[in-house]
Structure 1
């Protein structure tokens, strides 16, 4: 069973007026940024990075973030629009998307093009080791 924990980051600030909103993402030393669009049931990750950490900000949809703690226990966090989570260096993690979701990812190293899979170390499927009942019960889509 997954342990619930609360490591959700809120925006640094939100500016609103008649034109709309400007959302300042949480402070993070970004060297690269990406927008990732995921379909219902998509599973991403199941890996760790020795030399990288990244912030994942949910723009729309919903993301289940699963992280393996140093003692081997798994923690699950439900991240909703307007919230972010940081995946630290050396920590195994994966994401499951229960609905169509758009996230912005800020990385502290360049992961563009051919660099995307550099320094990625795959792990056994974390999402098969936790109980997602009540958070997501549908099919899971892997590459």
Structure 2
């Protein structure tokens, strides 16, 4: 799992923001090849994921609320690493990385982007389910 927050110094090359009297435009990607994007809303405590992809890199951008994001390699028996994400955080899960999410006490809205087959008719074609890693 890799993470960065679009509102802070993060070392992501090329990202920027432009502000004028109308408001601000803030980059969340730069030179990324995305195949799909969807908005996902979650009730407080909702758990999603508990799967991995063989060909897809998944990007999860937190819009509002909080989300505990769990991840681990499919090659380890160790417990998952947990990261509490807030608005502006981008979390990147690469192929063969098991990931799961649990929304915080106020719920969470995020946008999931996919670089690879993970949208529309292909939504389940690169999804491999596993036992719950949030425990």
TM exceeding 0.5: yes
Q: Number of matched residues?
A: 123
Moved over 6 A (4+): none
CA distance in 2, matches of 1:19, 1:59: 20
Q: Residue 59 of structure 1 corresponds to which residue in structure 2?
A: 63
Residue 14 (structure 1) aligned with residue 20 (structure 2): no
CA distance in 2, matches of 1:29, 1:66: 24
The alpha-carbon deviation at position 104 of structure 1 amounts to 1.4
Residue 90 (structure 1) aligned with residue 96 (structure 2): yes
Match of 2:77 among 52, 72, 80: 72
Residue 48 (structure 1) aligned with residue 55 (structure 2): no
Question: Using a 3 Å threshold, how does the CA distance of structure 1 residues 7 and 52 change in structure 2: closer, same or farther?
Answer: closer
The alpha-carbon deviation at position 68 of structure 1 amounts to 1.3
Q: Structure 2 stretches of 5 or more lacking a match? A: 7-14
More strand by percentage: 2
- Work out whether residues 55 and 85 of structure 1, in 8 Å CA contact, stay in contact via their aligned partners in 2: yes
CA distance in 2, matches of 1:114, 1:40: 28
Q: What is the aligned-residue RMSD (CA, Å)?
A: 1.8
The alpha-carbon deviation at position 14 of structure 1 amounts to 2.5
Residue 111 (structure 1) aligned with residue 111 (structure 2): no
So what's the TM-score if we normalise by structure 1? Answer: 0.77
